[in-house]
Amino acid sequence: MQNVTLVGIDLGKHSFHLHGQDKAGKAVFRRKLSRKQLVEFFATFHACTVVMEACAGAHWMARKLSQFGHTVKLISPQFVRPFVKSNKNDFVDAEAICEAAARPSMRFVTPKTESQQTLAALHRVRQALVRDRVCTINQMHGFLLEFGVSLPVGYAVVKRLSVVLAEHQLPPRLVAILERLHAHFKYLTQQIVDIEKELDRQLAEDPVGQRLLTIPGVGPITASLLASELGDGKQYRCGRDFAAAVGLVPKQYSTGGRANLLGISKRGDKNIRHLLVQCARALMLRLDKQSGRVVDWVRAMLTRRHSSVVACALASKLARIAWAVASSNTVFDRQASVPAL
């Protein structure tokens, strides 16, 4: 098997299916290995190119196999699917990964470092806790409304639930349920505060995150998440590529030489896109207290476009600025010219 130059791996939880081929694209071997056998196999195998889909466990496996001298590449699963032949099975998937990797125009995913993965996991936990807190608040509002108690929108009133319960005659069992939900609400809030403190500590030690904080409208949560996703930014050719990766560029449906641009594509990481749009809206709310070329550009856009359109356009511009700040190892200059859309 010394002539093997490319190995495709169909990843699984416990079993892994390998497809190896030579320089001409001819299949050389097929194997099914356990996780332990897979590591032992590549530890003694000659250096070659190993390709996997960018899914669960792929980044750890990429770092592990790179230690053995192999060139590891990750492909987005959506780019592998068109190369699956006939009926689908694990070996066919591994072969399709090799076929996709052999395309000269194929785009690959840069493996994340251990710190980037850890930071991304922390953000996902915070996002889940925030979602659970919203569900808890909505439950409390709903139960109270069933008994004729209507509270203002938001969770400011929920914080002083004891006052609300004292003002209304409610069944004791319902009061017990609401108190239990209120205790859960306080627990979730404390967990979110603790995670945000941990994010602040990590952000203080990250030079990329500190530079991202200089961008107008970008706060600690967004800067921390962008730092974990961007790294040094070298995996993207330009700022527009990063904006396209998070779905903030127009979706195109063109034919016959006629360009037809639709709304934003909404591809990529939904959380990053959501945070960038919120950063844009936060900046737009404080235009009278801001200055610089970006602010002047926003003011000019608002005179001829709807605020929601401007928010998405500004979010795309912030994504490009974030890439420029991360890749060029610099801070944001408010008076510098801004990237064109």
Query: pLDDT tens digits for 29-57?
Result: 899 999 999 999 999 998 899 999 998 88
* Cα–Cα distances in angstroms (integers) from residue 244 to residues 124, 204, 297, in the given order: 22, 28, 21
Residues 55/9, Cβ–Cβ less than 8 Å: no
pLDDT at 18: 92
What tokens appear for 116 in the block? 């980037």
Q: Which residues pair with 74 in a beta bridge?
A: 52, 109
In the predicted model, residues of the chain with pLDDT beneath 70 are 334-341
Contacts of 2 (CB under 8 A, 6+ apart): 46
pLDDT at 67: 92
pLDDT at 151: 81
CA distance 310 to 305: 6
pLDDT at 159: 79
* Cα–Cα distances in angstroms (integers) from residue 35 to residues 14, 16, 38, 55, 63, in the given order: 6, 7, 5, 16, 15
What tokens appear for 150 in the block? 């209507």
- Cβ-in-10-Å burial (0-12, 13-18, 19+) of 334 comes to middle
* Maximal CA-CA distance, the chain: 81
Q: pLDDT tens digits for 176-217?
A: 999 999 999 999 999 999 999 999 888 888 888 889 998 888
Cα–Cα nearest to 75, from 92, 58, 57: 58
Helix (H) or strand (E) holding 164: helix 161-167
Residues 242/278, Cβ–Cβ less than 8 Å: no
| Strands in 153-258 per DSSP E | 250-252
Q: What is the DSSP letter of 110?
A: P
CA distance 268 to 63: 23
CA 224, 228, 232, 234: dihedral to nearest 10 degrees? -130
Other C-beta atoms closer than 10 Å to the C-beta of 86 total 6
CA distance 302 to 193: 35
- Cβ-in-10-Å burial (0-12, 13-18, 19+) of 96 comes to buried
Residues 97/19, Cβ–Cβ less than 8 Å: yes
What tokens appear for 72 in the block? 């590891």
CA 8, 11, 14, 16: dihedral to nearest 10 degrees? -10
* Cα–Cα distances in angstroms (integers) from residue 298 to residues 111, 314, 325, in the given order: 36, 7, 20
